[in-house]
Chains A and B, each alone.
Chain A
Amino acid sequence: MEYINFNPKKFHKSQIKFYIILIPVCIFMGLPILYIFATAFKPMDELFQFPPRFFVSNPTWDNFRDLFRATSSGQSIVVFLLNSIIVTLAVVFFSVVFGAMAAYILSKKQFKGKNLLFQINQTALMFVATAVTIPRFLVISNIGIVNTLWAHILPLIAIPVGLFLIKQFVDNVPNELIEAAKVDGANDFYIFTKIIIPLIKPALSTVAILSFQQVWGNVETSSLFVNVESKQTFAFYMNTLLGQSNTVAGAGIGAAASLMMFLPNLIIFIILQSQVMDTMAHSGIK
């Protein structure tokens, strides 16, 4: 039946109309990103060129060098970078592990309040963290983690969407598999690590990406909960730099900074792309 043409194998002239719309959309979506790439490598004279030119003709690393030289009150950029890496690794690791553990229980165990818990988490999908910044600050200051790396890590670990996505995936693991393992004498820990985890890897990579995006670009924590420079993050430092440089001269450094924020996201997403699509196919809300 030739008019059923979704997910086609190859090009057909009936697809031209879609390309006519999609290509301009992609240009609009992609241009700003392209701009960042182009500007990050522009030397000073090209930044000031009038009329401004979009593409760079003599690419240079100057902006990156300036970026790494610029320091506020003498602290090396390496400290910010190191903080970011520690915080990001911790948040990604724990959000995946804790999310998977909770998802396994929610999906495969019976206990009182299970439905309630799932409902609460479902409602929390709509949670907008910035809306409750102030009570969050009160909580953070009362458990005594202000001005520590914990203030970066702990609040970002529980991700309602993450638990939700992983649970949808665990639901698809056949119960017979778990029963069979139990008959063979396996305990929950064994079932979780040796059976569940390998089967839900796509969901785990998706949650890793989501969590990475939240934490890597997070500026609020440093600006609100952490006032000591030695505990602030790269994203925050970038942001202060960008805030100071309103002018065209700052645009080069700004673009270099944006590029450094953007690239890790892009690389991780490209690597895990097919697994993400796999998870999303199961992402429906019932």
Chain B
Amino acid sequence: MKDLRFHLKQFYNKITSYFDKAINWLGSGSKTTVIFLAPYVLLFSVFILVPTLLAMLLSLTYFNGIQRPEFIGLDNYIYLLTQDDAFMRDILPNTILFSVIVGPGGYILSFLLAWMLSQIPKLPRTIMALIIYSPSMTAGIAMSVMWKVIFAGDESGYLNGLLLRMNIISEPIQWVQSPDYLMLIIIIVSIWSSMGVGFLAILAGLLNVNRELYEAAYIDGMKNRFQEIVYITVPSIKKQMLFGAVMSIVGTFSAGAIGVQLSGANPTPQNSAQLILNHIEDYGILRSELGMASALSVILMLIIMLFSKVFSKVLSSKDE
């Protein structure tokens, strides 16, 4: 660990010296520029930029946290893609399925809800917007206690109790321990808590569309609400839509912990709800294979960027 510390420290000194240079270079004009920017830029670099770059570097090494990282090129990636059965068979498909449903699905839902809210008067709108937004405030963990009771595997669980009483099932179902249901449950829970900042941005955008645009379009022969949404509404709030999209992607990929929370096990039963985030934790914290965990982090970041690119492509093609 001492050796590692020494190397990281050297690496660090290098970074900070570059950083100083950068500040000098930036600040050739004004002193305030540097003073005002420095705190944010410093904290951003140390806790966001450097960890990201470090993840990229470590992903090319074998590193167990004790010995010095050993450079092994792309071996971690090759291993993940060819040898790690769980990753290719369960985790990658799970992550993609989960993200496609919760990401775009939740996003479209948040647009539709925001649009409907924009069609009703202010008081009910504000109350309903608050209710819809509230689950996202306590994202994930604080709420998992409640989901545990709802989905509890014996008859004291609310869902089991309800279904038993309605005679839909004859004996309680082990919801969160069952590979058949766990994925569906984490998708529902994630969508439930996904109406966050992005949803508010879209709603605010909708309420600020210029009324004259609608009037002009109807005079020009626009016929129905659907045309109104496609030709006027969405193009007018494109910026908020894009912001909402980025927020929804990030939210989706950060939501991975919930499957492990609910089932109480990592890996989740038969990897049924295992997402990349859980796999990172599995490698990084449970197995101390930090190089491998970093390679997974890099893959995750690439997937997130890919999703964002696709989203912005789809949105920017709309106004041509």
Chain A residues in the interface with B (C-beta under 8 A)? 1, 3-11, 15, 18-19, 21-22, 25-26, 28-30, 32-33, 35-36, 39, 50-52, 54, 94, 98-99, 101-102, 104-106, 109-113, 117, 120-121, 124-136, 138-139, 142-143, 154-155, 157-158, 160-161, 163, 187-189, 192, 210, 213, 217, 219, 224, 235, 238-239, 242, 245-246, 248, 250-251, 254-255, 257-258, 261-262, 265-266, 269-270, 273, 276-281, 283-286
Contact = CB atoms under 8 A, between A and B. Distances in A.
B33 A105 contact: yes
B183 interface: no
A16 to B, nearest CB: 10
A246 B28 CA distance: 60
A158 B308 contact: no
B231 interface: no
Contact of A21 (B28, B116, B294): B116
B294 A134 contact: yes
Nearest to B31: A188
Given A36-B146, A126-B305, A284 B139 contact: no
B80 interface: no
B54 A138 contact: yes
B101 interface: no
A187 B36 CA distance: 13
B244 to A, nearest CB: 9
A104 B41 CA distance: 13
Given A128-B304, A134-B293, A213 B132 contact: no
Chain A: interface secondary structure? helix
B119 A5 contact: yes
Interface in B39-84: 39-41, 43-44, 46-52, 54-55, 58
B17 interface: no
B250 A126 contact: yes
Contacts of B280: 130-131, 133-134
B91 interface: no
A-B pairs with lowest CB-CB distance, top 4: A284-B239, A280-B204, A254-B145, A135-B54
Contacts of B297: 131-132, 134-135
A269 B130 contact: yes
B167 interface: no
Nearest to A187: B32
A284 B242 contact: yes
B163 to A, nearest CB: 11
28 contacts: A15-B120, A29-B131, A29-B134, A30-B134, A32-B147, A110-B29, A111-B26, A124-B44, A126-B304, A127-B250, A129-B254, A134-B58, A135-B58, A135-B294, A158-B47, A158-B48, A160-B48, A187-B32, A217-B139, A254-B149, A255-B145, A255-B146, A258-B145, A261-B142, A262-B137, A281-B204, A283-B201, A283-B240
B208 A109 contact: no
Most buried by B among A130, A192, A276: A130
B8 A265 contact: no
A52 B158 contact: yes
A29 B192 contact: yes
A280 B201 contact: yes
B254 A113 contact: no
Given A154-B47, A280-B203, 7 more contacts: A5-B119, A22-B120, A29-B195, A98-B40, A217-B142, A258-B138, A279-B204
A120 B249 contact: no
Contacts of A219: 141
Nearest to A18: B116
